Chains A and B, each alone.
Chain A
Amino acid sequence: MINTHDILETISMIQDENLDIRTVTMGISLIDCIDSDVDRACEKIYQKITTTAKDLVPVANEIEKTYGIPIINKRISVTPIALLAAACPGENPVKFALTLEKAAQKIGVNFIGGYSALVQKGFSHGDLELIRSIPEALAATEHLCASVNIGSTKAGLNMDAIALMGGVIRECAEKTADRSCIAAAKLVVFCNAPEDNPFMAGAFHGVGEADAVINVGVSGPGVVRAALAKLPKDASITEVADLIKRTAFKITRMGQLVAQEASRRLNIPFGIVDLSLAPTPAVGDSVAHILEEMGLEECGACGTTACLALLNDAVKKGGVMASSHVGGLSGAFIPVTEDAGMIAAAKSSALTIEKLEAMTAVCSVGLDMINIPGDTSQEVISAIIADEAAIGMVNSKTTAVRLIPAIGKKVGEELSFGGLLGGGPVMAVNTRSPEIFIHRGGRLPAPLQSLKN
């Protein structure tokens, strides 16, 4: 018989420590829906999504029941819509957004991602139109998420796109100022965007992917924290790393099981398991609390970056053996408004944007879900994107920026979104002007490490 201790451990992970599968995301290619007639393209998109993914939600619910493991979100990612918009010059790409929203509602998923453009080296037909339409598209939809890749280690940074995105983020917030500026929370700006990411808002289905795939994102910061809490305070950091590895292995095995089972039942190939530790605003499900459990008074204290580096590395080392294919972002997430410990640290000013920027150099994403003052200029937002993208470009890793300009609010005031997106204080931003730098435009050259051949 299975060991009693193992059974009770699994149950306590799920029941008391918030272990769950964050998302089962189906990636769907829309390449075969490209059409020069926008209405015909939209019809094909709707048909393809609603046929391919019709069983996604019921199957995920069945798996949840069979294994007793909560699956929090069911999501869809699609081919970057800019590729489809390119075939319909002069048309408003928002038509695609409304179609995706309609399809998402029909099949009952929590999010649909892929209102995206990849412009790391330059704009092609459709890219500019799509990027400019993002505020309108996100304001008019509820489930749609958008992303723009503005740089990569290979291509360098597209400074024209960076300049543009500062304004797009502001406009998203302004258009939804009466709804907690929610549109800005559904838009992410990437450097080195992964093509198989199951997590929102940055999920899209890369052009190198199969026609449809199942990608799974696990969660489990609470499990890691609970395991660390049992370790004596004088245990060496080697023991801490080993314990995180062992815990990450178990969490990922569960993700692998769910991914394989979903793939089998839906008859769609298994893509990857994303090893990320994704927090939620719920108490006991926080990445910041893991760092504090390692021995910091509060997240943001000196030592935070080192602790996060250890966590990120140990999660990957533990997870990679547990899954046959690992991908996506795979690492620790540090979204401020979605993490109870980060929210508390931001409120007490222990955590600042500058510290978060340093942390992004060693974790899996970037400046994520940060509320900034409503009067922050678009040039400052662009410059934050440029800084963050530079970290990603030079370190050959994914970095992202998801900032929410809290329209009408100042530093210290609160902005809440509810649900998984949480809420938190408006954080201070350095407002010295980067205007001349941002308006230069052009391309920031790729670093030497791009020349690997």
Chain B
Amino acid sequence: MRCVITVVGKDAVGILAKVSALCAQKNVNIAEVTQSVLQNLFCMIMLCDIEKINGTFSEFVDEAEKIGKENHLKIHVMHEDIFNSMHRI
């Protein structure tokens, strides 16, 4: 089971650190990261393994969204199946 975390917002120090700290705390293994800063806009996509997650996936989603709110970022955590089914035949 894998999920996709997307983070979009104004660039600042420590965004990657905050999100990856949450992943570590929840035992979510980061498999891939792509990240770019375009005209001060931070955009990051992480592919994570949630097989051995601590607690429920819902809690993880809620906490990620909370970090997003606190840091004025839009953070979405979604199961990878939605992207696979939508964009692959």
Q: Which residues on A are within 8 Å of B, measured CB to CB? A: 1-4, 6-11, 15, 62, 65-69, 250, 253-254, 256-257
Which B residues touch A1, using CB under 8 A? 32, 34, 47
Q: How far is the CB of B55 from chain A (nearest CB, A)?
A: 13
Q: Say yes or no for B39: interface residue by CB 8 A criterion.
A: no
Q: B11-19, B20-28, B74-82: which lies at the A interface? A: B74-82
CA distance A3 to B87 in the complex (A): 9
Contact of A257 among B6, B34, B45, B81 (CB under 8 A): B81
Contact of B6 among A7, A62, A69, A250 (CB under 8 A): A7
Q: How far is the CB of B42 from chain A (nearest CB, A)?
A: 13
Q: How far is the CB of B47 from chain A (nearest CB, A)?
A: 5
Which B residues touch A8, using CB under 8 A? 6, 43, 45
Which B residues touch A4, using CB under 8 A? 34, 45
CB contacts between A and B, total, < 8 Å: 65
Which A residues touch B81, using CB under 8 A? 67, 257
Q: How far is the CB of B70 from chain A (nearest CB, A)?
A: 19
Q: How far is the CB of B10 from chain A (nearest CB, A)?
A: 17
What are 15 A-B interface contacts by the 8 Å CB criterion? A2-B47, A2-B87, A6-B83, A7-B4, A7-B83, A8-B45, A10-B78, A10-B82, A11-B6, A11-B78, A15-B74, A67-B81, A68-B82, A254-B86, A257-B82
> Given A2-B47, A68-B82, A69-B82, is A62 in contact with B58 using a C-beta cutoff of 8 Å?
yes
CA distance A62 to B32 in the complex (A): 26
CA distance A4 to B6 in the complex (A): 10
Q: How far is the CB of B64 from chain A (nearest CB, A)?
A: 11
Which B residues touch A9, using CB under 8 A? 87
Q: Which of B32, B34, B61, B83 has the most CB of A within 10 A?
A: B83
> Given A2-B4, A62-B58, is A256 in contact with B85 using a C-beta cutoff of 8 Å?
yes
Q: How far is the CB of A24 from chain B (nearest CB, A)?
A: 15
Interface band, chain B: 20 to 34
Please determine whether B34 and A6 come into contact, CB atoms closer than 8 angstroms.
no
What are the 7 closest A-B residue pairs judged by CB atoms, nearest first? A68-B78, A6-B87, A67-B82, A257-B85, A65-B58, A2-B83, A253-B85
Which A residues touch B57, using CB under 8 A? 65-66
Q: Say yes or no for B40: interface residue by CB 8 A criterion.
A: no
Minimum CB distance partner of B31 in chain A: A1
Which A residues touch B82, using CB under 8 A? 10, 67-69, 254, 257
CA distance A68 to B81 in the complex (A): 11
CA distance A3 to B47 in the complex (A): 11
Which B residues touch A254, using CB under 8 A? 82, 85-86
Which A residues touch B77, using CB under 8 A? 68
Which B residues touch A250, using CB under 8 A? 86-87
Please determine whether B78 and A67 come into contact, CB atoms closer than 8 angstroms.
yes
Which B residues touch A257, using CB under 8 A? 81-82, 85-86
Q: How far is the CB of B80 from chain A (nearest CB, A)?
A: 7
Contact of A2 among B43, B74, B80 (CB under 8 A): B80
CA distance A254 to B76 in the complex (A): 17
CA distance A17 to B6 in the complex (A): 18
Which A residues touch B45, using CB under 8 A? 4, 7-8
CA distance A256 to B85 in the complex (A): 9
Which B residues touch A253, using CB under 8 A? 85-86
Which A residues touch B6, using CB under 8 A? 7-8, 11
Question: Which B28-86 residues have a C-beta within 8 angstroms of A?
Answer: 32, 34, 43, 45, 47, 57-58, 61, 74, 76-86
Add 12 more A-B contacts to A4-B34, A10-B86, A253-B86 (CB < 8 A). A1-B47, A6-B83, A62-B58, A66-B57, A68-B76, A69-B82, A250-B87, A254-B82, A254-B85, A254-B86, A257-B81, A257-B85
Which A residues touch B83, using CB under 8 A? 2, 6-7, 10
CA distance A2 to B87 in the complex (A): 9
CA distance A67 to B47 in the complex (A): 14
CA distance A7 to B77 in the complex (A): 11
CA distance A303 to B34 in the complex (A): 46
Minimum CB distance partner of B81 in chain A: A257
> Given A2-B4, A7-B45, is A67 in contact with B87 using a C-beta cutoff of 8 Å?
no
Q: How far is the CB of B74 from chain A (nearest CB, A)?
A: 8
Which A residues touch B47, using CB under 8 A? 1-2
Q: How far is the CB of A368 from chain B (nearest CB, A)?
A: 29
Which A residues touch B87, using CB under 8 A? 2-3, 6, 9-10, 250
